[in-house]
Amino acid sequence: MAASISAALLSSVLLFGHAALAQNRDAKASVIVFAAASLKNALDKVSANWEQESGQTVKTSYAASSTLAKQMEQDAPAQIFISADLDWMDYAAAKGLIKKESRSDLLGNKLVLVAPKDSSINLDLKPGADLAKALGNGRLAVGNVDSVPAGKYGKAALEKLGIWDSVSNKLAQSESVRAALLLVSRGEAALGIVYQTDAAADPSVKIVATFPALSHPPIIYPVALTTKANEAAADFLEYIRSPKAAPVFEAQGFSVLGAKTEKRS
């Protein structure tokens, strides 16, 4: 009887051990991506396509690029980092968090002014435009202008157009561009500055105007493997940059770039 129990116990231990090993292998095969919030719709689709092709798993954390870079600095397990601007990728590179040779410029975007879909606001975003009058008693939703890329681009554009001083006290600053979009979508802000791709992803808002391209630095999304990347992460990065993924990004309104770039001087 004792021998029978021991055999059964041993069998259970072995089965548990095999299950644990299989679970560990699956965990190691998972690719952990830290990506700018504005990428969610497109990257979710790209990830699903790759998962179907490869049989592997992608787990993505979306937030402001600043937040993600800071989390990586605190040893978060990201294997791929996609920032919404060059500055935060430069920051990650300076901190030794990415494999610099894997870095490239992945996507481009446009900056737009949005309003709730039933809004009657109409504005021509030219130098000296009366954005304050268009806002009235409402707020202008933006990502944090000191850290969130969309907020930084937005402030730069408003300054270039000579509008900043008239609206700087009317801002509703958010922790990410998607949070700013949500304020407009819910009607809690009269207008918002977001990316063209964000506006396309939310049917509750409409584009009122597009900021002139020369009013702000080029909107570039760099991508890189982190120092924690495994082989699966490298494979997924290649897929992200492949012709298979390009139409998905383009369908969401991104422009697909490609050339690798080193840290700026």
Q: pLDDT tens digit string along 218-237?
A: 999 999 999 999 999 999 99
Instruction: Give the domain extent around 11.
Output: 2-108+220-256
CATH number at residue 208: 3.40.190.10
pLDDT at 13 over 70: no
Same domain as 122, residue 102: no
Confidence at residue 135, expressed as pLDDT on a 0 to 100 scale: 96
Q: Is 175 domain-assigned?
A: yes
pLDDT average, residue stretch 37-53: 96
pLDDT at 10 over 60: no
The β-bridge partners of 194 are 112
Q: Is 202 domain-assigned?
A: yes
Q: Is 124 domain-assigned?
A: yes
Same domain as 115, residue 104: no
Confidence at residue 258, expressed as pLDDT on a 0 to 100 scale: 67
pLDDT at 265 over 90: no
Which one has a higher pLDDT value, 30 or 12?
Answer: 30
Confidence at residue 32, expressed as pLDDT on a 0 to 100 scale: 97
Confidence at residue 137, expressed as pLDDT on a 0 to 100 scale: 95
Same domain as 47, residue 90: yes
Q: Is 261 domain-assigned?
A: no
At residue 210, the 3 state secondary structure works out as: strand
The Cα 178–Cα 150 span in angstroms is 10
Same domain as 232, residue 204: no
Residues 6+ apart with CB under 8 A from 108: 218, 219, 220, 221, 254, 255, 256, 257
Out of 182, 200, 215, a domain closes at 215
pLDDT at 66 over 50: yes
Confidence of residue 30 (pLDDT cuts 50, 70, 90): confident
pLDDT at 4 over 70: no
Q: Is 230 domain-assigned?
A: yes
pLDDT at 147 over 70: yes
Question: In the chain, how many domains are there?
Answer: 2
Spatial CA neighbour of 42 closest among 258, 253, 260 = 253
Same domain as 98, residue 227: yes
pLDDT average, residue stretch 26-41: 83
The Cα 74–Cα 84 span in angstroms is 20
| pLDDT mean across residues, the chain | 89
pLDDT at 165 over 80: yes
Q: Is 232 domain-assigned?
A: yes
Same domain as 36, residue 78: yes
Same domain as 141, residue 101: no
Out of 42-56, 151-165, 248-262, least confident range: 248-262
Same domain as 95, residue 16: yes
pLDDT at 23 over 80: no
